[in-house]
Structure 1
Amino acid sequence: MRYPVVFFDADDTLFDFEKTKQVALDALFVEAGFPRSEALTATYERINQQLWQELEQGRVAPATLKVERFARFCTATGLAGDPEWLSTRYLQRLSQGTDLLPGAEQLVQTLHGSVRLALITNGLQAVQRPRFAQSPLCKCFEVIVVSEEVGIAKPNPEIFRITWEQMGCPELSGILMVGDSLASDIQGGVNFGIATCWYNPNQLPLPAEPRIDHNLTDLTKFPELVLDRSV
């Protein structure tokens, strides 16, 4: 077996977080009395992405991000809203989203029992833990590490070390990190010194950096890679 241990990213690698996020945001806008428009959604997305990048760089704390994104959103759009209330309601709605990407459940169940699995997510405890608890995938993972709980986010190698230690310190050469984000998942795997697999369903060109050991465009092909059947 090529990789007896696999560290998976959660959102947009196994879980369809784009769908979860859009459903939650649409419902929040209705509840808050905000107009629903592509422009407002794009404004929120821009602000949210910027803050998550700052979190990954260690420049902002999760507790700040939760509320600050809505404070900036209201300022940018001129809409009247209580950022604390908006944050609370949005997180509650996000925590109910358990949609998986096509093929994700079958993939994890195929690997379960043959490959040791861990989940590492840059996420908020109040959102991720309820989602994972409701998911059929949860029982397949030996370890689930949520960045807010440990105070460190990918690509910091420390969150990988924490996961590795909880897995019993397996050989680094036998671990593969799988994720859709070059900046957090792949760079984080490189930082920790393990092999990386970029989940790249849109078949984007491979960048020069960070190092990518495997380029995966179809989740159904992943068992072949891990079990060393062909890829």
Structure 2
Amino acid sequence: LFFILLFLVPLDLTYPLPSPLQLYGIGALAIVAIVFSFPLGVLLAIGRRSSLPVIRLFCTLYIELIRGVPLITVLFMMQIMLPLFVPGGESIDNVARAMVGFTIFTAAYIAENVRGGLQAIPRGQEEAARALGLNPLLTMGMIVLPQALRIVIPANVGQFISLFKDTSLVAVAGLLDLLGIARSVLAQSEFLGRQSEVLLFVALVYWVFAYSLTYVSRRLEEALGVGQR
């Protein structure tokens, strides 16, 4: 649906078009952020419960710092500061900068969701695993973490849906988002007076993505027996 709307924009525009990565990368921005933020969030949640003070302090500071600032601030910081860490003065595409910003922002919220799931697991589970001879790493990876991730499926899916809708904020960083494409379509003479149809189509794109995630989440919960056992 995203690319259908994208192709509605004629190629003979009077203003410069964004780069192909900006056009087609926005459609995958949310997916990339979800794929990378989830494992990062899990590691942060485990690190915040670590017995090592340095790791626990680092994870706590990261989570609290990122959760304490708006997403738009993180996006601006990525646009300005990320190129400073690239050696050789090489440039990074704006879409890649936005992907990094969304990833580190979402990971902090995923970490808190997972930490809540870890705290919901009875301590007797860990004690039973240790009684069977499992070390702390195996106890976390095979006993505690799988149960915690199953508990927080609804919370994480809700965070992913929010992430997809927040991709509209990339417009402030000079990128073309879904609503920006809709405005470009409405600026064409062929689509004058069709504002309702175009905006309804944009709303449909957001709804289809959100409902798809909700449907997959519900089926996954049923398969894993969330709330049943």
The answer to whether TM tops 0.5 is no
- Point out the structure with the larger helix share: 2
With the length of structure 1 as denominator, give the TM-score of the two structures: 0.27
**Which of 1 and 2 has greater Rg?**
2
Whose strand proportion is higher, 1 or 2? Answer: 1
